[in-house]
């Protein structure tokens, strides 16, 4: 017996990473030693104190009941404390909702505010969940905002038609382009959202993965942002905890509460012990500066970044050294699928830019979430392939 998928499932494009994973599996089955620079999952471990906190909190029988659907009170306090220290942003605990990773919140926020057929503005290229998991799965309509190299991979708001838009996603430090936004461009985004009464969903998942002394801002630092914005954050990248599924959304109270309302009908929040671990993890910040382990973590990533980007430049492909994220976004001067296929044959898996949207064509994304010796080996393979 077969059952028909709902129309919204049929409207989903194929999951980019699933396609790539399938090809990688096939190569591996043939015994090829592939180096995967395609998935953004850190190879570095969580800090030791986080592992210890997990042991202690999971061992406490009191931490195995249902959580409050908006999140444990001490978790929400820890998040408000972190925002004050890190961004000098004042939040009340009811402006925080705990998430099962930021992806979950990004997907659910549209359910709270977007009616069938309503327009959601999504950057092109972008993290696929904004268009798919969020907009399409709640029957919204995707309106693309091109991110072009000549504009520093920022939307040109003068060219964006806001008519009928209910919600907009923005993400800096950016996946996949690794570009960053300065305060001025965030101010433009907030003004655009306010002028056109658009909910601004700001994905700040990579704010802590930064290099060369760069510190990423929060959209909530911008005057007036609290009127229109909800910001998504996560411990996934900051603490190398991608599998632990703990994140949060903060900002405008009505937006946060709308998301919490949807979630209360779907899940019962992250496990209490995970939230307790997150409280201890966030407490590692004594002020706005990154704690010791994060500085070391980013130093390791920075060394890999330099290796990879220098290789690409040496063989003639334009790629800026990113100030944040663990992605290199290289101009491959043509068909990104063909370029990725050529590298796959050389034993290196990368992500074709077209997988992140039409404007991603002509680029490839490479992650530096592999040990240094594998990055060196990958660089050698890439060099000899060209
Ligand atoms: C831009 C961006 N936002 C959000 C996420 C989701 O992260 P998590 O759900 O682990 O918090 C990712 C993961 O790769 C990402 O690249």
Confidence class of residue 178 from pLDDT cuts 50, 70 and 90? very high
Q: Please give the pLDDT value at position 259.
A: 98
Q: Please give the pLDDT value at position 116.
A: 97
Q: Tell me what percent of the residues of the chain surpass a pLDDT of 70.
A: 98
Cα 243 to middle of ligand 1, angstroms: 11
| Angle ∠(209,211,213) on CA atoms, nearest 5 | 115
Strands 199-203 and 229-234: parallel
**What are the tens digits of pLDDT across the range 273-301?**
999 999 999 999 999 999 999 999 999 99
Q: What is the mean pLDDT of residues 48-77?
A: 97
Which residue blocks in the chain are alpha helix, DSSP H? 7-10, 16-29, 48-58, 73-87, 102-113, 183-195, 253-264, 272-282, 292-314, 336-345, 372-385
Tell me which residue has tokens 């603490």. Answer: 239
Tell me which residue has tokens 């004050």. Answer: 84
- CA separation for the pair 249, 96 (Å, rounded): 6
DSSP helix/strand/coil, 45: coil
Pocket of ligand 1 contains residue 205 by CB under 6 Å: yes
**What are the tens digits of pLDDT across the range 244-280?**
999 999 999 999 999 999 999 999 999 999 999 999 9
Residue 207 class from Cβ within 10 Å (0-12 exposed, 13-18 middle, 19+ buried)? buried
- CA separation for the pair 367, 386 (Å, rounded): 20
Confidence class of residue 24 from pLDDT cuts 50, 70 and 90? confident
The order of strands in the sheet holding 229-234 is 96-99, 247-251, 229-234, 199-203, 165-171, 119-124, 141-146
Cα 102 to middle of ligand 1, angstroms: 6
Distances in Å between the Cα of 295 and the Cα atoms of 45, 236, 299 are 14, 16, 6
Stated pTM of the model: 0.96
Q: Please give the pLDDT value at position 39.
A: 84
* pLDDT at 357 exceeding the cut of 80: yes
Q: Please give the pLDDT value at position 126.
A: 97
Please, what is the average pLDDT of the chain?
95
Confidence class of residue 20 from pLDDT cuts 50, 70 and 90? low
Q: What is the mean pLDDT of residues 160-164?
A: 94
Distances in Å between the Cα of 321 and the Cα atoms of 88, 217, 304, 324 are 28, 19, 11, 9
- CA separation for the pair 99, 80 (Å, rounded): 15
Q: Which atom of ligand 1 has the smallest separation from the CA of 242?
A: 10
Confidence class of residue 19 from pLDDT cuts 50, 70 and 90? low
Q: Which residues pair with 251 in a beta bridge?
A: 230
- Measured over the CA atoms of residue 194, residue 195, residue 198 and residue 200, the dihedral's sign is negative
Q: Please give the pLDDT value at position 17.
A: 59
Q: Please give the pLDDT value at position 28.
A: 84
Q: What is the mean pLDDT of residues 312-319?
A: 90
**Who's near 120: CB < 8 A, 6+ residues apart?**
110, 114, 130, 131, 134, 135, 140, 141, 142, 143, 165, 166, 167, 168, 169
Q: Please give the pLDDT value at position 160.
A: 96
Q: What is the mean pLDDT of residues 173-188?
A: 97
* pLDDT at 78 exceeding the cut of 90: yes
Q: Please give the pLDDT value at position 16.
A: 61
- CA separation for the pair 211, 328 (Å, rounded): 13
Q: Which atom of ligand 1 has the smallest separation from the CA of 103?
A: 9
- CA separation for the pair 187, 38 (Å, rounded): 33
* pLDDT at 343 exceeding the cut of 70: yes
Instruction: Give the residue from 10, 114, 83, 370 showing the smallest Cα distance to 231.
Output: 83
Ligand 1 binding pocket mutation candidate from 234, 270, 356, 357 (most atoms within 8 A of CB) = 234
Confidence class of residue 18 from pLDDT cuts 50, 70 and 90? low
Tally of CA atoms within 13 A in the half-sphere of 292 that contains its CB: 3
Q: Please give the pLDDT value at position 15.
A: 67
- Measured over the CA atoms of residue 190, residue 193, residue 197 and residue 200, the dihedral's sign is negative
- CA separation for the pair 220, 112 (Å, rounded): 21
Q: Which atom of ligand 1 has the smallest separation from the CA of 127?
A: 1
Pocket of ligand 1 contains residue 101 by CB under 6 Å: yes
Q: Please give the pLDDT value at position 14.
A: 73
Confidence class of residue 102 from pLDDT cuts 50, 70 and 90? very high
Question: Per the omega criterion (within 30 degrees of 0), is the bond before 173 cis?
Answer: yes
* Count of C-beta atoms within a 10 Å radius of residue 341: 13
């Amino acid at each position: 017996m077969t059952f028909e998928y709902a129309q919204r499932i049929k409207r989903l494009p194929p999951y980019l990473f699933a396609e790539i994973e399938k090809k990688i599996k096939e190569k591996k089955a043939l015994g090829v030693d592939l180096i995967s620079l395609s998935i953004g999952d850190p190879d570095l471990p969580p800090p030791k104190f986080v592992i210890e906190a997990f042991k202690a909190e999971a061992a406490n029988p009191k931490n195995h009941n249902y959580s409050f659907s908006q999140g444990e009170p001490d978790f929400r306090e820890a998040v408000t404390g972190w925002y004050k220290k890190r961004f000098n942003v004042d939040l009340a605990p009811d402006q925080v909702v705990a998430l099962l990773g930021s992806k979950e919140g990004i997907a659910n926020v549209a359910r709270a505010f977007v009616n069938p057929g309503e327009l959601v503005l999504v950057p092109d290229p972008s993290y696929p969940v904004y268009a798919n998991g969020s907009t399409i799965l709640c029957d919204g309509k995707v309106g693309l905002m091109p991110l072009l190299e000549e504009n520093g991979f920022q939307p040109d708001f003068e060219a964006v038609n806001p008519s009928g838009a209910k919600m907009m996603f923005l993400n800096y430090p950016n996946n996949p382009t690794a570009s960053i936004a300065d305060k001025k461009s965030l101010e433009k985004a907030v003004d655009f959202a306010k002028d056109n009464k658009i909910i601004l969903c700001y994905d700040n998942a990579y704010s802590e993965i930064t290099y060369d002394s760069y510190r990423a801002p929060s959209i909530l630092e911008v005057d007036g942002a609290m009127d229109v914005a909800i910001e998504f954050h996560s411990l996934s990248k900051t603490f190398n905890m991608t599998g632990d599924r703990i994140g949060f959304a903060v900002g405008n109270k009505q937006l946060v509460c709308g998301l919490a309302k949807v979630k209360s009908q779907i899940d019962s929040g992250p496990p209490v012990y995970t939230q307790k671990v997150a409280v201890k993890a966030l407490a590692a910040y004594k002020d706005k500066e990154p704690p010791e382990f994060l500085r070391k973590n980013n130093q390791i990533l920075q060394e890999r970044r330099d290796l990879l980007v220098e290789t690409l430049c040496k063989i003639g492909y334009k790629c800026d050294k990113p100030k944040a994220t663990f992605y290199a976004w290289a101009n491959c001067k043509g068909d990104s699928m063909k370029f990725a296929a050529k590298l796959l044959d050389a034993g290196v898996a990368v992500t074709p830019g077209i997988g992140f949207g039409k404007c991603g064509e002509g680029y490839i994304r490479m992650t530096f979430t592999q040990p240094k010796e594998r990055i060196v080996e990958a660089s050698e393979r890439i060099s000899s392939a060209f």
